[in-house]
Copies of this chain bind each other. A is one copy, B any other.
Amino acid sequence: MSTIREGDQILIITERGKRYLVKVSDGKRFHSSEGFIELGELIGREYGSMVVSNTGSRWRIHRPDLTDLIMHFPRLTQIIYPKDLGFIILHAGVGPGSRVLEAGTGSAVLTAVLANYVRPEGIVYSYDVRQDYLENAKRMLERVGLAEYVILKQRDITSSDVDETGLDAAILDIPEPWRAVETCWKALRPSGRLVSLSPTVEQVVETVEALKEKGFSDVQCVELLLRNMRVKRGMTRPEFLMRAHTTYIVVARRSSRE
């Protein structure tokens, strides 16, 4: 795990900060806009090593974390960004052993993260209406070694119930989450958590109103803004550009209906 081996997935970070996920294969070259390196020459070197491309650009070779891997999944849908992923995991109360509902599977970025954190005893039930998304998810989860913690199902949860009950959490990343609130209520255990992601204010209003009407309490809505700082002694300042919006996050707790 400490040294680079044939067949490893590696993360290359170039001098200009570009990131590439590459499989080490002796005899192959990896080309970027900053030159190329011979992948075979990496074998046996320690992770974190520097290599110099043929054009003199200095690159770092790192062992990728799950966060690196998911950011390189094919983006079939708008993905969920890391700044939001950590918040979701924590506020959904997801941890080792959790039984979690997810809809939709989409690009499987959140699916993989959920799978990672319910290990080894928990399980993620991930629903999507589109078979092609589920097939992509299966491939991606296998690639990152998390397929055994996920059961993928092709179904529209806004028009039919799910098979599971007593779940710890439900995470919705679908266009009309308010139409899945009833299904989630039935699937969740008492005090189970619901987290719903939507980019627009109107979606959030519909969702929050549905949650309050249909047996959820402690309903809150937040958004997270990530601001990068450029840190250099004597020249420290916030970065000039930032992603100003990804998604609103609605959180709630399943309550009794009374």
Contacts and interface: CB of A to CB of B under 8 A. Distances in A.
A32 interface: no
A116 interface: yes
B254 A48 contact: yes
A154 B244 CA distance: 41
| Binding site secondary structure of chain A | mixed
B95 A66 contact: yes
A236 B113 contact: no
A227 B84 CA distance: 13
Contacts of A241: 241-244
A189 interface: yes
Contacts of A258: 49-50
Contact of A90 (B49, B85, B91, B220): B85
Interface in A225-246: 225-246
A146 to B, nearest CB: 10
A47 interface: yes
A218 B121 CA distance: 33
A46 interface: yes
A163 interface: no
A37 B102 CA distance: 37
Interface string A12-44: 010000000000000000000000000000000
Given A87-B83, A96-B119, A233 B218 contact: no
A76 interface: no
Interface string A35-78: 00000000001111110000000001011011100000000000
Interface of A: 1-3, 13, 45-50, 60, 62-63, 65-67, 82-83, 85-91, 93, 95-97, 113, 116-117, 119-121, 166, 189-191, 193, 199-202, 204-205, 208-209, 215, 217-246, 248, 250, 253-256, 258
9 contacts: A13-B218, A48-B255, A62-B253, A65-B93, A86-B90, A89-B89, A201-B236, A221-B231, A228-B244
State the 4 A-B residue pairs at the shortest beta-carbon distance, nearest first. A86-B86, A242-B244, A48-B255, A47-B190
